[in-house]
Structure 1
Amino acid sequence: MSDPHLLALLRAIRLRQSAPDAAAAGEADTAAALSEIARKKKDAQVADHTPASDSGTPPYFSKHRAPEKPAGESASLLWRGDPSAVMGRSNLRAARGGIPPIGGITPSGPTTPVPPIPGLEGPRPPEPSGMDFPPQIPQRSFPTRRPKAGTGPLRHAAGRDGMDPADDAALRDTQRNLSTSITFAGGVDDVAERLWEALHQAQPALLSSLPGSAATQRGDLARALTWLVHHLADPPALVNGCARLGAVLAECGLQWNRLQLVGAALAEATRAGMPPGSWRQDFDQAWRWAWQHTYEWIVHGGTLVAYQPTIWDVEVVTHEQRREDLAVLTLRTFLPTPFRPGQYARFEVPGVPGVWRPYSLAGAPHRDERIELHVRAKSGSGVSGALVHRIRPGARLRMTKPEGDMGLPDAPGRGILMIAGDTGVAPMKAILTELAALGDARPAVLFWGVRDLTELYDIEALTELVARIPGATVIPVVADGPSGPYMSGPVTDAIAAYGDWSRHEIYLAGPPLMLAKTTASLSRLGIKQDQLHHDPPE
């Protein structure tokens, strides 16, 4: 494997496989390498009949030294690592003399054999299936190796992350242009607000497909622009982050063609905030060039949802210990999280890797990015034990795609009967929160069945919530002991005594035994099976 031409051929093949936008450069490398191999074979055949030179040097090396590379030609890989995280060299190389306009491709590459490439580390172990993709590429340097005499000029040493220093410089130049233009335009919040207004006018369906209110979407755009500028000069992090964003946008049902105008909208949102005469052509090109590559990796990430589950990182904002064995946590998601009120998601906590447990999501997806979890610890260990006893604000959790069939009925004329036991009140609180956010005045009644008064851990918040919904009522039912101002006895008796439920959609949530007993009792009351909605017990 020491032959420089064979190494050049292998390098060209690998580049073709891992970097689609380097196809033109790969073709040139391959053609040159094949040409040199053919020439070497021919010369070797001639050498069988040619005497050695007086100096003792084999004829091939004395007559066929590797041609010198043109001045200014640099190493061609942006960085080395996982093939899925390799960006093409052609677009960045053009940036040395100015950033190419959006859509422009500048194929380039050596037309002569490439000297031996530095040695690579052994194969990396496979990443965990179905989790973070593309994987983060560790920052590591690659040793350079001085070529033997007569094999060509010494290559430039790669940077600490394997990138060509010239390409690093081009990225930093683009990064400075983006940062400077945002500063001239009044700051990232002002740019994000103008960008939101432009997208709202040009592509209202784009924003309506994303969760959150107008205010929270503007905040998300501001954080996204800040992240983009800070990570533009770190291609592995940029590719990984864009791929994760693409996955969650695909889960939101976003159509990719609606994103194509964002680059122009970004440039215009920045230009519109600048004083007259401050806008420069290199600002415009920097924004369009950055979005071109960002868009490509977002779409790349969006294609992955068909092959592996999407994972969200969430941060614990608040942790309230309501009882010794029960806590209410507020979580903040870092990327758009689409869910319907009443759904649940599975969570993984630090210290218990690979174990995922389902919890209902309380919150309003049309209001903000906050999610509320109600967790009862079944033991001192495991996921529930960690969430109740050990997790504190600032901790990071991982969450799967929300699922489940519970939610508001499509027919606005249908009333809603909700029956909850224990922490099953969480999805019902989400439905009530959605009614309040939408101003929906349809009849909605929540029966919360508990064993004793101490289990009404969230009654104050629920009472305040239903006060903002004209047609909503919450009725706690205490099974044992003093009931105070609330109804007492089995919750099914209270439901039967309250009225006729034939024109209501009925939602159930709670422990499996409670679900079974309540379903049987409702059936005896004449409730039809297609009126009942609940998630399968686990």
Structure 2
Amino acid sequence: MSSGSGSGSDPHLLSLLRAIRLRQSAPDAASAGEADTAAALSDIPVREEPEEEPESPRPADAGLLWRGDPGATLGRASMKAIPPIGGVNPSGPAAPVPTIPPIVGVRTGGPPGTEFPAAQNYPAIPRRFPGRTLPGPGAGPGRDGMDPADDAALRDTQRLLSTSLTFAGGPDAVAGRLWRALDQAQPALLESLPGAPDGQRAQLARAITWLIHTMDDPPALVTGCSAVGAALAECGIQWNQLHLVGAALAESMRTGMAPGTWRQEFDQAWRWTWQHTYEWIVHGGTLTAYQPTIWDTEVVEHDLRRDDLAVVRLRPFLPMPYRPGQYARFEVPAVPGIWRPYSLAGAPHREDVIELHVRAKTETGVSGTLVHHTRPGDRIRVTRAEGEMALPTESGRPILMIAGDTGVAPMKAMLAELAATADTRQAVLFWGVRDLTELYDIDALTALAAEIPRATVIPIVAEGDPGPYPSGLVTDAVATYGEWTRHEIYLAGPPLMIASTSEALHRLGVPRTRIHHDPPE
């Protein structure tokens, strides 16, 4: 804030205003920013080259601030090498700066889908800065204790960002150019993020829109960028993978404009915005070492397959990594504080949507709410993925999957991964059900198997008319169909089914080390 904001103001929120003031009072910043943008993107290495030149240190006037080893990974794995970040301004005082408090109020900007990250990640706290009480309406500084001049400076920067985005063709066009630049310069960055290219470009477009619409609300901006940093840290993003983003974003704006439209103040606004966005992202990534990461998701599809079973598809607002075969814990608003595990049946290489197969145990509770009281547009929270079930790394190792009931969900995810990667290894799925009515997802499974050169799906019906499928117990069918001692075997379903099937496989000569399943809960 300005000098009129007082010494008790939050230093994290002051940094953005100081940057804007410096930009306005430093006439040489324009030429420096323009030169750096050109330099940063002028020699992007071509991916086909056999060797990649080592990255040279970032010049002091590059417009991005750095701290620590540029190759270090954000998040838990890097905490021995990277000291915790207490503040957001590495050029500031050496004394620890208070951590950024979680602040409610990320406001919706633009059409539905542009409002991520959702505000319910963060508990509500009073809107005040440390050591300061907000004045009453119409008295002294503006909202949140900010000097009106600071509000005007933020709105001016927001206007420059919005105007340049319009001149550059809008968020979808800019996101497409930015994605292509990052794909050429930092392909490993995009490969670390879930989803197909189209989904990643759509998420970039939503992020750009959110950033502009939130620019005049510093508490929400800091909170949201911290959430982005936590999500990127969970994906294993490294700091040096982000150093071209600011310059690439400004260049994506410039190249989309008509000749003579680009102005130096556009370049300055985007680069200064990225400078502080980057710092808050790093801060949020560091916090993953000390607190769990929670994703907000939106229900995009709810399909009631039976009276007691639904397939629910959710889209996280921020990138959420997981391996096919893993599970995560979910919380619904109707039952706060209660988390229940469900396998993730999505395809992370194909889309940014996760899929749950839920059987209702009661009319209420988490399962009952997901099956009977959930509709598209509802919000559901989810923790980071867990579990050790994953496809074998040995490409020639054949796979046997045995599922009971909704235990077919993680098997569907692994089949989707085999299809997405064009894997040619043998894969066999036995799906044991009580009767024909329980084959709620057989069409989707059959379609997936058709995309895989050597995959087979075999339903086993225990009771009643089996229709075109074999009848009996799934353990008997597995013993009848072949010899499985060379296979990696995955089990999922009711605990009794897992125990009996595991013991039957061991009697058939399968080593226990080849039998994989998550512990029952």
Task: State the TM-score, normalizing by the size of structure 2.
Answer: 0.79
SS at match of 1:247: helix
Contact 1:85–1:134 (8 Å) recurs in 2: no
- 1 CA distance for matches of 2:24 and 2:140? 18
- 2:39 maps to which residue? none
- 1 CA distance for matches of 2:421 and 2:224? 33
Contact 1:136–1:236 (8 Å) recurs in 2: no
SS at match of 2:423: coil
SS at match of 2:305: strand
- 1 CA distance for matches of 2:209 and 2:178? 14
- 1:181 maps to which residue? 164
* Residue 412 (structure 1) aligned with residue 395 (structure 2): yes
Q: Displacement of 1:470 after TM fit?
A: 1.4
Contact 1:477–1:487 (8 Å) recurs in 2: yes
Contact 2:193–2:235 (8 Å) recurs in 1: yes
Q: Displacement of 1:159 after TM fit?
A: 1.1
Contact 1:136–1:240 (8 Å) recurs in 2: no
* Residue 531 (structure 1) aligned with residue 514 (structure 2): yes
**Cα gap change, 1:471/1:303 in structure 2, threshold over 3 Å: closer, same or farther?**
same
- 1:262 maps to which residue? 245
- 1:298 maps to which residue? 281
The gaps in structure 1 that reach 5 residues or longer are: 1-21, 23-71, 109-123, 146-154
Contact 2:134–2:144 (8 Å) recurs in 1: no
**Cα gap change, 1:427/1:106 in structure 2, threshold over 3 Å: closer, same or farther?**
closer
Root mean square deviation of aligned Cα: 2.8
- 1 CA distance for matches of 2:507 and 2:243? 57
SS at match of 2:328: strand
Q: Displacement of 1:73 after TM fit?
A: 4.7
Task: Please point out which of 90, 101, 104 is paired with 2:18.
Answer: 90
- 2:428 maps to which residue? 445
Q: Displacement of 1:360 after TM fit?
A: 0.2
SS at match of 1:502: coil
- 2 CA distance for matches of 1:185 and 1:78? 40
Count of residue pairs brought into register by the alignment: 439
SS at match of 1:161: helix
Tell me: higher relative CO, structure 1 or 2? Use CA pairs within 8 A at least 6 residues apart: 2
- 2 CA distance for matches of 1:533 and 1:494? 19
Contact 2:246–2:271 (8 Å) recurs in 1: yes
1:155-166 → structure 2 map (5 Å cutoff) = 157-166=140-149
- 2 CA distance for matches of 1:481 and 1:237? 58
**Cα gap change, 1:73/1:317 in structure 2, threshold over 3 Å: closer, same or farther?**
closer
SS at match of 2:5: coil
Q: 1:74 is matched by which residue type in structure 2?
A: G
* Residue 245 (structure 1) aligned with residue 245 (structure 2): no
SS at match of 2:312: strand
- 1 CA distance for matches of 2:216 and 2:408? 47
- 1:75 maps to which residue? 5
**Cα gap change, 1:77/1:183 in structure 2, threshold over 3 Å: closer, same or farther?**
farther
- 2 CA distance for matches of 1:85 and 1:350? 31
**Cα gap change, 1:464/1:359 in structure 2, threshold over 3 Å: closer, same or farther?**
same
- 2 CA distance for matches of 1:284 and 1:136? 35
Q: Displacement of 1:106 after TM fit?
A: 13
* Residue 403 (structure 1) aligned with residue 331 (structure 2): no
SS at match of 1:354: coil
Q: Displacement of 1:260 after TM fit?
A: 1.5
**Cα gap change, 1:383/1:106 in structure 2, threshold over 3 Å: closer, same or farther?**
closer
Q: 2:157 is matched by which residue type in structure 1?
A: T
- 2 CA distance for matches of 1:483 and 1:526? 29
Contact 1:194–1:269 (8 Å) recurs in 2: yes
Task: Please point out which of 312, 328, 331 is paired with 1:348.
Answer: 331
**Cα gap change, 1:460/1:260 in structure 2, threshold over 3 Å: closer, same or farther?**
same
**Cα gap change, 1:280/1:402 in structure 2, threshold over 3 Å: closer, same or farther?**
same
- 1 CA distance for matches of 2:355 and 2:125? 33
| Residues 84-136 of structure 1: per-residue CA shift (max 9 Å, x gap) | 7665653243355579663599999xxxxxxxxxxxxxxx9999xxx977756
SS at match of 1:487: coil
Contact 1:78–1:163 (8 Å) recurs in 2: no
**Cα gap change, 1:125/1:474 in structure 2, threshold over 3 Å: closer, same or farther?**
closer
**Cα gap change, 1:407/1:227 in structure 2, threshold over 3 Å: closer, same or farther?**
same
**Cα gap change, 1:429/1:444 in structure 2, threshold over 3 Å: closer, same or farther?**
same
Contact 1:318–1:330 (8 Å) recurs in 2: yes
Task: Please point out which of 462, 481, 485 is paired with 2:464.
Answer: 481
Contact 1:420–1:508 (8 Å) recurs in 2: yes
Q: Displacement of 1:331 after TM fit?
A: 0.8
Q: 1:382 is matched by which residue type in structure 2?
A: G
Contact 1:76–1:89 (8 Å) recurs in 2: no
Contact 1:451–1:480 (8 Å) recurs in 2: yes
Bigger mean CA offset, 95-104 vs 420-429: 95-104
- 1 CA distance for matches of 2:429 and 2:436? 17
1:276-425 → structure 2 map (5 Å cutoff) = 276-425=259-408
Task: Please point out which of 237, 258, 263 is paired with 1:275.
Answer: 258
* Residue 517 (structure 1) aligned with residue 508 (structure 2): no
- 2 CA distance for matches of 1:507 and 1:143? 58
SS at match of 1:506: strand
1:456-467 → structure 2 map (5 Å cutoff) = 456-467=439-450
Q: 1:75 is matched by which residue type in structure 2?
A: S
Q: Displacement of 1:248 after TM fit?
A: 0.7
Contact 2:324–2:410 (8 Å) recurs in 1: yes
1:57-136 → structure 2 map (5 Å cutoff) = 73-76=3-6, 87=15, 89-95=17-23, 97=25, 102=63
Q: Displacement of 1:176 after TM fit?
A: 0.8
Q: 1:224 is matched by which residue type in structure 2?
A: A
* Residue 196 (structure 1) aligned with residue 179 (structure 2): yes
SS at match of 1:74: helix
Instruction: Tell which structure's C-alpha radius of gyration is larger.
Output: 1
- 1 CA distance for matches of 2:354 and 2:64? 39
Q: Displacement of 1:447 after TM fit?
A: 0.2
Contact 1:478–1:486 (8 Å) recurs in 2: yes
**Percent of pairs with identical residues:** 65
- 1:13 maps to which residue? none
Bigger mean CA offset, 90-99 vs 219-228: 90-99
**Cα gap change, 1:282/1:89 in structure 2, threshold over 3 Å: closer, same or farther?**
closer
- 2:213 maps to which residue? 230
**Cα gap change, 1:484/1:371 in structure 2, threshold over 3 Å: closer, same or farther?**
same
- 1 CA distance for matches of 2:134 and 2:328? 45
**Cα gap change, 1:143/1:288 in structure 2, threshold over 3 Å: closer, same or farther?**
closer
**Cα gap change, 1:103/1:375 in structure 2, threshold over 3 Å: closer, same or farther?**
closer
**Cα gap change, 1:293/1:137 in structure 2, threshold over 3 Å: closer, same or farther?**
farther
**Cα gap change, 1:360/1:296 in structure 2, threshold over 3 Å: closer, same or farther?**
same
- 1 CA distance for matches of 2:452 and 2:350? 16
- 1 CA distance for matches of 2:478 and 2:313? 31
**Cα gap change, 1:402/1:143 in structure 2, threshold over 3 Å: closer, same or farther?**
closer
